Amino acid sequence: MPRPRILVTRRWPDAVERRLCALFDTTLNADDHRLSADELRAALRAHDAVLPTVSDRLDAGVLAVEAPRARILANYGVGYSHIDVDAARERGLVVTNTPGVLTDCTADLALTLMLMVARRAGEGERELRAGRWTGWRPTHLVGTRLSGKTLGIIGMGRIGIAVARRAQHGFGMQVVFFNRSPVAAEALAGLQATQLEHIEDVLAQADFVSLHCPGGGANRHLIDAARLAAMKPHAFLINTARGDVVDEAALAAALQHGRLAGAGLDVFEAEPQVHPGLLALENVVLLPHLGSATRETREAMGMRVVDNLVAFFDGRRPPDQVS
């Protein structure tokens, strides 16, 4: 039997690419360019599986391709709002993701952003590297401490819970959260975290708000101008989820007018573009979507995709099938 033909849309860690090549008839993206819509359509026509990432927009227009050969989109990443899952289902395409393996690294990055923005680390580094540091003084770059503050989490799934544990056990923070459905007590074992009924309740109480819900759909601009106005003026907004969860223009305006103390962002509405209003502000930490970017996690994500593909082509349900 011929081996399944698969296409990997970006460069993946070497060990994963080697395993894919050993198991499947694999097409790699040697120069790691971002595939155009036409290249994605061609991939869907010529391969049994396409392995996309967040940089591939698999919308209804692309998925409407004539006579697709592909039967599975094995996504590299836990978030999959770049894939129109309804359109994929209509075309008979299974969609899988890679949950669990990036929880710790993404939670670490949320804490990195909290610390960087509260302790003005980005500002300090820019000042020092520009040769503008004149030496120690008691009033220099004074920030805010995390200890004793309230962290508000929007979206208390695996990553939200991992952030809460770090914040509470590592930094002595109180935790309140919003989640669409009740969160089971076992998932919160060892944590003192209070589920509140409305997002606004969390925004009103939190000194730091960290977003951990999926992007797309009803979550687009979940944090809009009105919700930004509902935050405390001394509060910080952290986003390691998806850029479109926040109305970036409204965030830039709120920060420019001093209605918020700062923001730490790893994700953006139109990556790799960043709203110019945010780029101009000192009290914003901006990272280029690094949440899962550790050697260990990027490899584990790839191996998880391999496991999904092996199950699918063996005729079993992939362990991480989402649609």
Residue nearest to ligand 8YV (CB): 77
**Which CB sits closer to ligand 8YV, 213 or 254?**
213
Residue 76 interacts with ligand 8YV (CB under 6 A): yes or no: yes
Residue 16 near residue 310 (C-beta atoms within 8 A): no
Backbone angles phi and psi of 44, in degrees to 5: -70, -30
Nearer to ligand 8YV, 225 or 322 (CB): 322
**Active-site annotation holds for 289:** yes
Give strand pairing partners of 26.
6
243 scored as a contact of ligand 8YV (CB under 6 A): no
Task: From 157, 210, 214, select the one nearest 188 (Cα to Cα).
Answer: 157
Residue 12 or 146: which CB sits closer to ligand 8YV?
12
Q: How far is the CB of 298 from ligand 8YV (least distance, A)?
A: 7
Residue closer to ligand 8YV by CB (options 76, 178) is 76
Contact map string, positions 18 to 57, toward ligand 8YV, x by CB under 6 A: -----------------------------------xx---
* Site membership for ligand 8YV, residue 235 (CB under 6 A): no
Token pair for residue 307?
Answer: 């496991």
Residue from the set 77, 155, 160, 243 that interacts with ligand 8YV by CB under 6 A: 77
Question: How big is the chain, counted in residues?
Answer: 323
**71 given a catalytic annotation:** no
Q: Shortest gap between Cβ of 80 and ligand 8YV (angstroms)?
A: 8
Closer CB to ligand 8YV, 77 or 262, in the complex: 77
Task: Give 303: exposed, middle or buried? Use CB within 10 Å, 0-12, 13-18, 19+.
Answer: middle
Is residue 188 a contact point for ligand 8YV (CB under 6 A)? Answer: no
> Under the criterion CB under 6 A, does residue 155 sit at the interface with ligand 8YV?
no
47 belongs to the catalytic site = no
Using CB under 6 A as the criterion, which residues of the chain lie in contact with ligand 8YV when the complex forms?
53-54, 76-79, 102, 291-292
